[in-house]
A and B are shown apart, each in its own frame.
Chain A
Amino acid sequence: MRCWNCHESAPAGDRCPACGRLQPFEEGGDHWSRLGLPRRLSLGGEELEARFHALNRRFHPDYYQRRSEREQAISLENSAAVNVAYRTLRDPIARVEYLLGLMGMPLEGGQGQPPAELFEEIMELQERLQEYREVRGDGAKLERRLAADRADLGARKAEVESRLFGLYPRWDELAERDGEASRGLLGEMRTLLATRAYLRTILRDLDEVLGTAERTE
């Protein structure tokens, strides 16, 4: 692209080599491109943090206080974009959800239907929760049962997550050579995410009822 100031050729999201002015990011870029990384699901925390720090050293408004208003605005926008990108990509769940959105396959909002494999179990659990809330039946016994349910569901959530994360390197590999197969894989990931979201909601309900100190993420 062309520098907004001197009209020489300048890279987006960096300083113009000719006049030194900061350039905005390209329209339509994504979180990976803004951090200068290839679009991959497997990302190392250290690598991400290093990019985050390096780019904040390039863009942070602290360094542009004595520059023109235009450059200050670009610095503000660029550093906000980098911060949002880092926040999204460092969380492996937010990362895949963002990718699904980019690929036009967003996860539907709301609770949706419980996953088929868990349907019956969850119905029974909901009933127990209801009983407990209304203080029917043997409180202590129900509480023990619910605590056991919580442990069980927590383990399932962890299992779903580990299956999901296991697909990340496969998608990274497929995305480069087989578009169709990689889309299929994304569909699989979306199903796992929906199951996870459902489990998370129930775990939160359980935590609330049991007053569990431990927080469900």
Chain B
Amino acid sequence: MADLVIGIDLGTTNSLVAYMDGDLPRVIPDREGRALLPSVVTFGPDAPVVGEGAKRQLIRQADRTVYSIKRFMGKGFEDVREELRYFPFRVSPSQEVVRIRIGERELTPPEISALILRELKQWAKAHLGREVEKAVITVPAYFNDSQRQATKDAGRLAGLEVMRIVNEPTAACLAYGLQRKKEGIIAVYDLGGGTFDISILKVKEGIFEVLATNGNTHLGGDDFDRELVDLILREVRERHGADLAADPEAMQEIRLGAEAARVRLSAEEWTVLTIPFPQHGFTFRREIGRAELERLLERLVQETLEPCRLALADAGLEASQLDEVLLVGGATRTPLVRRRVQELFGRVPHSELNPDEVVALGAAVQAHILAGGITHMLLLDVTPLSLGIETLGGVMSVIIPRNTTVPTSAKEQFTTSVDGQTVVDFHVLQGERELAKDNRSLARFELRGIPPMPAGIPRLEVTFLIDANGILQVSARELRSGTAASVEVKPSYGLTDEEVERMLQESYEHAEADVRARLLIETRNEADTVLRATEKALGQGAGLIGPEEADRIREALEALRAVRDGEDLDLLRERLDRLNQATLHLAEVLMDSVLREALRHRRVTETPEKR
């Protein structure tokens, strides 16, 4: 029997989990039947809350409620600095990984994403009635190595074995492919809450081969909303003389109002924006039409078209050679997006499958392939960005070009520049620009354990391997001595293995503390019940037992009451057991008397078995 592997779409705005139900992928709903889990986490006084409950806290607890965390995955502080003004939560300035400040705590994006994944894992467990330990998680195709690694770390922190990181547009194509069995050249245009991807695939005899991919990991529905947010802020300033940009609650009201209006304008020509600001003493009200919104969005939509042209060129194709265009992601419901896509590719795009669900469904299909449940379909994806190393003069030298089918590998030789040198380091980058500084720094690698030799003599062969997840693995050996060199990685914007280990440890400890807290509450409840029952029993049966016994019971009862509100679970448990023990005899006596009473009134027709 195939293993159970779930498919997860970890989205900017919403996340979903799906599984294969027989031959068809199916989205798993929560207990109330909702399939979409808002990707929002709020850090209340007790445990963190994820989803709808957290979404309701966006305004009231703006500074403790985190949303769109996907935009921060695998990023450094400098990367996100500019857009921070749109977020009400605080980010600690640091050199490396972004850290979100919640009260006294600092959390990295993978830790926050892990809470979302954990919630979905719970949904799956509740729905399927069995433990779920393995998952396929989707990411935007244009995610770089750090962003993929961050997603994998999030999975690990959520207690999931991440079997595969799969690209969102390709997952969507798999879902379509499973249901329609159509072959040919397919373009997938995927515009989500925060990211944009275009992938061009060739589907032939069950093989889904990605020919080229391109995109922008910082462009999506969120950015559409920001155009409206800026408009509202400007008009509020003009009309009411108030600057709301520094007020996190007002900003959240504006953002939610803008989002709702934008969504309404996909179906309607006109809508009214009504945003109350009770704390400022006014309500912002304004009519807005679809045409006006489209003028605001035009520049952003145009920004998605250039990656489409580049992907076509990399695939060596003309738009006319495409057999189909698929639309994926909630933001493709925008009529302007549909029009521009249709103009660019010269054909009406398809969107029969729910654009919110199709990625999760595809993830479930890929999960089933990995579990051995499907053998006729195979996905061959590509690495979206060129991989290279920094060479003398700060130039990037490409080792693996973009759009290379993964897994793939390349070897590079290094040597020493000083006599007796035992360590060589190099800087690995991703991107398409000439200069190293214009590309994305992935990590600095240090090769250690090189046998001391004169300068230029060691021949260090480094193997760069990109696995099927699009994640880099580096290994090295010295060819003259045949020794393997140890490779030390310093990720530029990621967590080291040790950090993930430590967080995992902490999350276990948290989990332990959580379990203890719940046990304490349950034991207190139990104590209350026993205290009440004992008092009642003493009232009813004091005459049936001796005064010494009654005193012993009262003593045990008071002893339990004394620790009822304490934090010591073990002591509470112990006194509770003692009281239970002390009342055993009283209970028996009471039971006997009740029984006797009952027997005396027994009805003739009643049989003992029935009682």
Contacts and interface: CB of A to CB of B under 8 A. Distances in A.
Whether A associates with B in a native complex is: yes
Interface of A: 53, 56-57, 60-63, 65-66, 76-77, 79-81, 83-84, 86-87, 215
Interface stretch (B268-276, B405-413, B563-571): B405-413
Contacts of B205: 53
Given A60-B378, A61-B468, A83 B405 contact: yes
Contact of B407 (A53, A83, A87): A83
Given A53-B209, A87-B405, 14 more contacts: A53-B204, A53-B205, A56-B207, A60-B380, A62-B164, A63-B375, A76-B407, A76-B465, A79-B468, A80-B408, A80-B465, A83-B404, A84-B410, A215-B313
17 contacts: A53-B204, A53-B205, A56-B380, A57-B207, A57-B378, A60-B468, A61-B468, A62-B369, A62-B378, A62-B379, A66-B3, A79-B407, A80-B408, A81-B409, A83-B404, A83-B408, A84-B408
B53 interface: no
Interface in B466-481: 466-468
Contact of B372 (A57, A66, A76, A79): A66
A65 B163 contact: yes
Contacts, number: 59
Given A53-B204, A76-B465, A61 B407 contact: yes
Contacts of B207: 53, 56-57
B469 to A, nearest CB: 9
Interface of B: 3, 163-164, 204-205, 207, 209, 313, 369-372, 375, 378-380, 404-410, 465-468
B171 to A, nearest CB: 14
Nearest to B403: A87
9 A-B pairs with the lowest CB-CB distances in the bound complex, closest first: A80-B407, A80-B409, A83-B405, A65-B370, A61-B468, A83-B408, A80-B408, A53-B207, A79-B407
Specify the main secondary structure of chain A where it touches its partner: helix
Contacts of B164: 62
Nearest to B313: A215
Given A53-B204, A62-B369, A62-B378, A83 B406 contact: yes
A87 B372 CA distance: 28
A80 B407 CA distance: 5
B477 to A, nearest CB: 14
A151 B520 CA distance: 82
A211 to B, nearest CB: 15
B204 A87 contact: no
A77 B475 CA distance: 13
A56 B313 contact: no
A15 B132 CA distance: 32
Nearest to A81: B409
B378 A86 contact: no
Contacts of B375: 63
A62 B263 CA distance: 39
Provide the main secondary structure of the chain B interface.
strand
A149 B313 CA distance: 24
B4 to A, nearest CB: 13
B409 A56 contact: no
B70 to A, nearest CB: 25
B468 A62 contact: yes
B313 to A, nearest CB: 6
A29 to B, nearest CB: 14
- Please indicate which of the listed interface residues B406, B407, B466 has the most CB atoms of chain A within 10 Å of its own CB: B407
Contacts of B408: 80, 83-84, 87
Nearest to B377: A62
A56 B465 contact: no
A61 B467 contact: yes
A65 B380 CA distance: 16
Contacts of A63: 375
Nearest to A76: B407
Nearest to B314: A215
A63 B89 CA distance: 43
Nearest to B372: A66
Contacts of B369: 62
Contact of B409 (A57, A61, A65, A84): A84
Given A53-B207, A65-B163, A87 B404 contact: yes
B404 A76 contact: no
Contacts of A79: 407, 468
Nearest to B5: A65
A117 to B, nearest CB: 30
Contacts of B313: 215
A76 B163 contact: no
A62 B378 CA distance: 8
A66 B368 CA distance: 12
Nearest to B469: A61
Nearest to A59: B407
A61 B409 CA distance: 14
Nearest to A64: B370
Contacts of A60: 378, 380, 468
Nearest to B375: A63
Contacts of A53: 204-205, 207, 209
B167 to A, nearest CB: 14
A193 B513 CA distance: 69
Contacts of B372: 65-66
A118 B379 CA distance: 47
A62 B374 CA distance: 10
Nearest to B209: A53
A56 B370 contact: no
Contacts of B163: 65
A56 B467 contact: no
A56 B380 CA distance: 8
B378 A76 contact: no
A19 to B, nearest CB: 19
A87 B378 CA distance: 18
A83 B470 CA distance: 14
Contacts of B407: 61, 76, 79-80, 83
A76 B410 CA distance: 13
A77 B409 contact: yes
A49 B407 CA distance: 17
A15 B405 CA distance: 23
A63 B406 CA distance: 15
A76 B472 CA distance: 12
A100 B243 CA distance: 68
Given A60-B378, A62-B379, A83-B407, A76 B467 contact: yes
